[in-house]
Structure 1
Amino acid sequence: MIEDLGELVSCESFSSDLDAVARSAKVVAAMGARHLGAQPETIVIDGVTHLRWSFGTPKVLLLGHHDTVWPMGTLATHPWSVVDGIARGPGVFDMKAGLVQMFHALAELDSLDGVCVLVTGDEEVGSVTSRTLIEDAARGLAATFVLEASADGGALKTARKGTSDYTVTVYGKAAHAGLEPWNGANAGIELAHQILTIAGVAELVDEDEPVTGTTVTPTVLAGGTTVNTVPALARVGVDVRVPTLAAQAKVDTLMRALSPQLKGTRLEMSGGPNRPPMEAALSAELFAEAARLAEELGLGALTSASVGGASDGNFTAGLGVPTLDGLGGVGGGAHADHEHVVVAEMPGRMRLLRALVSSVLAS
């Protein structure tokens, strides 16, 4: 398993470098073929390379991605290594260890009939080209197991917030800031009003929701041209995280109800919901089965976590497919310099996944 992990990590796969993603897909395909005894279907959409294995009539989907957030050349500063039982390197935790564990788990099954494996190439940049593949693969199945990295302490991820992204653009009217500012319509001031309103949206949503935790955060700001010109254009990006579909819909309604407060300005809204939330109800039975199997395998008590970050498991859960996430590597530091995996945990996680897949196939 360590050798396989080193092979994947040593092939850099920055999401924005489509040639690198294609090279990575070849390495993943060859590894999967060795363990599964079959070549994958290679699917290229808008230059992004995805891989799919399907055996018989699928009943369970194993889902992962091979792209990473790390720019090309990161291996020079973050080389692959295993020291004192800790594996390091770009993408080792998010989520190449999960892919290795998945291949080894499936290799130990007596039959792969009923298994579908989908490894995508653009998860880290929003799954724009792979969302339809994911939803088509998962629709109507008994379970989806997501090989994303675990939460702190090895916890499985039983709930994820949904995500929405908006850009609010304000159009005003330029004027000389010293000679005749009154003849302008200040897009910057209007944007300030809108930002304060946006910052209060989460509170309005949560006060009526049984499940709270919505966040609506103004992030990237831009506006104006020169210091002596009333700005005619300004914009803000907005990051939204929601615990339920109802909260996501309410945020969308409130965002689209924004209206200008200054005479001479107008608003333009773009964006909207991206990933639906993975609600805890859709993982409850699978987590209970995982906990039972972990005890049976001598792996100890499993823990669970609800997290703010989204994954492709949000898409499968959004279809109503039972989904359990965080079955990948145990470690930490996703997207950070201290990214790492505890290699001693890999065999146990592999055995747990194998038992879960077997349980679903037998049911």
Structure 2
Amino acid sequence: MNRALNFNAGPAALPEWALKEAQNELLNFRNTGMSVMELSHRSKDYEAVHNEAQSLLRSLLSISDEYEILFLQGGASLQFSMIPMNLLQEGQTAYYTLTGSWAEKALQEAVKVGKAEIAVSSKENNYKNIPVLDATSIPSDAAYVHITSNNTIYGTQWKQFPTGLNVPLIADMSSDILCKPLNMEQFDMIYAGAQKNLGPSGVTVVIMKKELLERSSDSLPTMLNYNTHAKNNSLYNTPPTFGIYLLSLVLRWVTDQGGLEAIEKKNELKASLLYNEIDNSNGFYNGHAELDSRSTMNVTFTLNSEEATKSFLAQAKEAGFVGLNGHRSVGGCRASIYNAVPYENVERLAQFMSDFRKNY
């Protein structure tokens, strides 16, 4: 079977090695005579998988013991509510940086819980850039500052994270976690839906400083309280066991690739293939994001006419490319080139773009 040239924004491509490893163990996981999906989440066999995923993640991101690692459900979207419910206390204000649709949704949920304001925004520029956040504009008694590190729809990404803040910094890293080395000490909390760079949909990774857990009130619904999951090693209720198993395989694959330094180099090479094609097309292709805000995960671009766009997407589909349609907010095209998208596939897309431009 020929694997698809998968450029979906999420759920997205998974490492072929991880898929084959899961296939090999699907019916008989480590001589248990059962699939991982059939194991009790209270069993030692599953507990080993669970703990391995935490350990690998801790190693890859150099996460200290000051942080709790949680495996939750509900996607990043549930975190939009859980964060203010747990961390936005009465009399405080949370500040949100608006850099795209998901940042907007996070803010919309926060204002339902408490007081939340916009710290900085690039909405007036159709989210083409990452705005500069002035740390001095954030009051020292603020609950937290929230950013979205990568914006899948608009193809922008934070290159330098905010510094000089005297309040907790929280980041939604759903679409670029593990794409490059990260200084965890800059953040008090990061969270990510797994379905782009970590594994399949259904798992949400939350990494948070343990001291933040003190803010969670006992009056919160049990399942929406971070303490519930921290005290029970994310095993208070049945977790998405197969998803966490696949997450552990993806983390092993990243480790075997040489870690995040090696992954970053590969991602930069992949992105440069497409951005070079866009920049050298004499206006035939136009990137949505401004140069200093370009994402290495999601390359967004338009063609010089609607007719050309339709023809490009139709021919790309015939050629075996999947997931290149741009989001309706931006239009045009989008190539999501997460960690697991092979360099060779990106190379083929760049060549297709070149050939299409010359022949159109």
Q: TM (normalized to structure 1)? A: 0.24
More helix, by proportion: 2
More strand, by proportion: 1
